[in-house]
Amino acid sequence: METMAILFLGVLAIATAFLVIFSKNTVHSALWMVGNCFVLAVLFLMLNSQFIAILQVIVYAGAIMMFILYAIMMLNLRREQDEGDPRKNLVTGRILLVLLFFTGLVIMGVGFSPIALKGRMASQAVAQFGEVNLIADYIFSEGLIPFELVSVLLTAAVVGAVYIAKKN
Instruction: Candidates 8, 67, 85, 148: give the one binding another protein (CB under 8 A).
Output: 67
Residues 129-158 contacting another protein, CB under 8 A: 129-132, 134-135, 137-139, 143, 146-147, 150, 153-154, 156-158
Instruction: Candidates 1, 82, 93, 148: give the one binding another protein (CB under 8 A).
Output: 82
**Smallest distance from another protein to CB 116, Å:** 6
Residues 88-117 contacting another protein, CB under 8 A: 89-90, 92, 94-95, 98-99, 102-103, 105-106, 109-110, 113-114, 116-117
The contacts found for 126-129 with CB under 8 angstroms, 24 or more apart, are 126/48, 129/48, 129/49
Assess 64 for contact with another protein (CB under 8 A): yes
**Smallest distance from another protein to CB 96, Å:** 10
Assess 8 for contact with another protein (CB under 8 A): no
Assess 27 for contact with another protein (CB under 8 A): yes
**Smallest distance from another protein to CB 11, Å:** 9
Whole-angstrom CA distances from 21 to 28, 57, 89, 94, 158 are 10, 21, 12, 17, 28
Instruction: Candidates 52, 93, 145, 148: give the one binding another protein (CB under 8 A).
Output: 52
The contacts found for 122-131 with CB under 8 angstroms, 24 or more apart, are 126/48, 129/48, 129/49, 130/47, 130/48, 130/49, 130/50, 130/51, 130/52, 131/50, 131/51
Assess 42 for contact with another protein (CB under 8 A): no
Instruction: Candidates 61, 85, 93, 148: give the one binding another protein (CB under 8 A).
Output: 61
Q: State the SS3 of 119-158.
A: CCCCHHHHHHCCCHHHHHHHHHCCCHHHHHHHHHHHHHHH
Pair 65, 30: CB distance under 8 Å: yes
